[in-house]
Structure 1
Amino acid sequence: MGDVLAGIHSTWQFESDSVLVRYERGLRTPKLLQVLGERRIPYEALSRVELAPGGRRGTIVVRAVPRPGSDPLMEAADGQLKETCDPYRLVLPADRELLADYFVHEMRSQLGPDAAEPAPGHLVHAPEPPLSFKAYDGKAAFDGKEITFRWFRTGASSAKWKSGDQTFAVGELAGVEWRSPEVFKGHLRLIPRGADPAALRAFPGVEVDQDPAAVVFGLGYGPVHESLPFAAAVRAAVQAAEPVPVTAAPAAPPGDRERPDPADIADRIRHLGELYEAGLLTDDEFSGKKAQLLAEL
């Protein structure tokens, strides 16, 4: 198409296979859009395009709706973004309605036959690492290969502090869960491969403030414009990564197996007791695991 629609907070440049969205850096532009800078949205990543009256008098809105699974940012957001922060929304003066209607029809003509179906994979690029942000209980950093959580002594729970700083390789993860810092119990939680997808947590039954695979947001901590791009980048990297293979060591013949070190068993039981006292294990789990360790002696 090769034409441009300039609106409030952003400009859409229409090209043959995509629309290039450039976000303004003005004081009134939401910080998330400023951080995104610009995004190229292939037409094949869209399911539909809409034109509707704007929320403010004298405006209209062009909104593109991405196909499920096409954009890691919108996947991570999971419907939690405020309308003003929607990167697929263009607000225009009402006197540009005819021009906007023309471009909406042109965009619709570019949608493929599978527009109503989920995308086969991410078609829109996520923000590029390195990325980092401060949560209430620690600092999260992502270099493209590993995610690290470094706990704050004044904010982290005793369970997290005792577990020590955490490092997660992308290939060890199945996904990431983001809950907006603007809602109760906002957090970012990493989901290890093999975890129950319904549980969405490293340790079922453990709250995020106790989970060493999660950081907790709070007033002024983990803002949307920092934590959401982080979650999107991790999500995209996880989808693109090969799982880290888990190789079992060959079993030794019964006569060659080394006898466990009693001191090591004692240390493991002591550590088990610390987890129990921190509330990370139930009575049954503690008793069962302790019995297993004693049986090794």
Structure 2
Amino acid sequence: MGDVLAGFHAAWEFESDSVLIRYERGIRTPKLFQALGERRVPLEAIEGVTLTPGRRGTVVLRVEPRAGADPLIEAAAGQLKEGGDPYRLVLPADRETLAEYYADELRALLTESGRTERYLVAPPEAPLHFKAYDGKASFDGKAVSFRWSWTGASSAKWKAGDQSFPVADLGGVEWRSPEMFEGYLRLLPRDADASVAGAAAGAAPAVPQADQDPAAVVFGLGYGPVHESLPFAAAVLAAVRERGASAPVPIPVPAPRRDPADIAERIRHLGELHQQGLVTDEEFSSKKAELLAEL
């Protein structure tokens, strides 16, 4: 087709094998759309097309992605608000006839349905990072790192120390929207399915609360917003699935040397936890030795 249909916050370009969605960067455009920039959605990733009345004299053209086709939608797990759905194009009601034409043209090209075996929509590209309430999360495409904040992290996370999770050791992610109560991003180990089955049989311990789990960062007001944490989760999820499909042999990477000032600050905070009785003498000595070893 090659035609362009422009609506509020986005424009769709209809190509022979895909729909290219370009999002605007205006101040009224949802921040998630601005973060995504543009997305190419192959026709094989689309299961259906709908055209429905919208609010205040608008119509909404929407493509329905196939289950498993888009890591962003899979990570969101139904938690995106209607206005943050990247597959909706809102148009003035007087363009309904034109929108209906494109909907019919697009439907005629669709031939696939059902869950996909691989992601068909490209994930956000690494490196990615965002600031959570209790630490900073970063992803370089090979490993996820959590660096705890001394003002927000729990004593359990401080005792565990900063974390690094190679993609090869992960089985998935669990994202809870920061717009909901107790939002967080949790990394799931490769044996997560087995752990769930074991828990159901009474053979595995309960999963800790996110604020106590070194494999999770928690969100708060202004920390871990959707437009930062969700693309991050989607990129990790896509890397995990790609790693599972290819399973290359992992290559050890030496840990970078830490900033001495950062180590000193962490030892100071560890001492405060020790004085407050939140860390035992043995834990204090052991953790201090670990931190000094990173210099």
Provide Cα deviations, 1:195-235, integer angstroms capped at 9, x if missing partner. 24674999733111111000001111000000000000000
Provide Cα deviations, 1:15-73, integer angstroms capped at 9, x if missing partner. 0000000000001000000010000001110111000001x221100011110000000
Report if aligned partners of 1:187, 1:215 keep a CA contact under 8 Å in 2: yes
Report if aligned partners of 1:18, 1:40 keep a CA contact under 8 Å in 2: yes
Residues in 1 aligned to 2:248 and 2:218: alpha-carbon distance in whole angstroms: 27
1:199 and 1:134, CA in 2 relative to 1: closer, same or farther beyond 3 A? farther
Provide Cα deviations, 1:115-149, integer angstroms capped at 9, x if missing partner. 2x111210000100000000001100000000000
Provide Cα deviations, 1:66-119, integer angstroms capped at 9, x if missing partner. 10000000000111111111100000011111111111011111111x32x111
What SS class does the counterpart of residue 192 from structure 2 fall into? coil
Residues in 1 aligned to 2:154 and 2:248: alpha-carbon distance in whole angstroms: 29
Q: Which runs of 5 or more structure 2 residues have no equivalent in the other structure? A: 251-276, 279-295
Match of 1:103 in 2: 102
Pick one of 128, 131, 138 that aligns with 2:125. Answer: 128
> TM-score, normalization: structure 2?
0.80
What SS class does the counterpart of residue 241 from structure 1 fall into? helix
Match of 2:90 in 1: 91
State the 1:154 CA deviation. Answer: 1.2
Report if aligned partners of 1:76, 1:231 keep a CA contact under 8 Å in 2: yes
Match of 1:27 in 2: 27
Residues in 2 aligned to 1:171 and 1:111: alpha-carbon distance in whole angstroms: 35
Report if aligned partners of 1:177, 1:189 keep a CA contact under 8 Å in 2: yes
Counting only pairs closer than 5 Å after superposition, residues 216-255 of structure 1 correspond to structure 2 as 216-242=218-244, 243=247
Q: Which runs of 5 or more structure 1 residues have no equivalent in the other structure? A: 247-276, 279-297
Provide Cα deviations, 1:136-190, integer angstroms capped at 9, x if missing partner. 0110000000000000111111110000000000011000000000111100000
Counting only pairs closer than 5 Å after superposition, residues 129-278 of structure 1 correspond to structure 2 as 129-196=126-193, 199=196, 204-242=206-244, 243=247
What SS class does the counterpart of residue 33 from structure 1 fall into? helix
What SS class does the counterpart of residue 209 from structure 1 fall into? helix
Match of 1:286 in 2: none
Provide Cα deviations, 1:242-286, integer angstroms capped at 9, x if missing partner. 45879xxxxxxxxxxxxxxxxxxxxxxxxxxxxxx98xxxxxxxx
Q: Which amino acid aligns with 1:162?
A: K
> Would you tell me which structure has more helix in proportion to its own residues?
2
Q: Which amino acid aligns with 1:103?
A: Y
What SS class does the counterpart of residue 211 from structure 2 fall into? coil
**Which structure has the bigger radius of gyration?**
1
Residues in 1 aligned to 2:97 and 2:123: alpha-carbon distance in whole angstroms: 33
Match of 2:38 in 1: 38
1:15 and 1:181, CA in 2 relative to 1: closer, same or farther beyond 3 A? same
Structure 1 vs Structure 2: percent identity of aligned residues? 65
Residues in 2 aligned to 1:165 and 1:80: alpha-carbon distance in whole angstroms: 29
Residues in 2 aligned to 1:176 and 1:135: alpha-carbon distance in whole angstroms: 16
Match of 2:50 in 1: 50
1:14 and 1:168, CA in 2 relative to 1: closer, same or farther beyond 3 A? same
Match of 1:295 in 2: none
Residues in 1 aligned to 2:12 and 2:135: alpha-carbon distance in whole angstroms: 38
More divergent stretch after superposition (56-65 vs 14-23): 56-65
Residues in 2 aligned to 1:150 and 1:204: alpha-carbon distance in whole angstroms: 24
Q: Which amino acid aligns with 2:208?
A: V
Aligned residues: CA RMSD: 2.3
Counting only pairs closer than 5 Å after superposition, residues 271-290 of structure 1 correspond to structure 2 as none
1:197 and 1:22, CA in 2 relative to 1: closer, same or farther beyond 3 A? farther
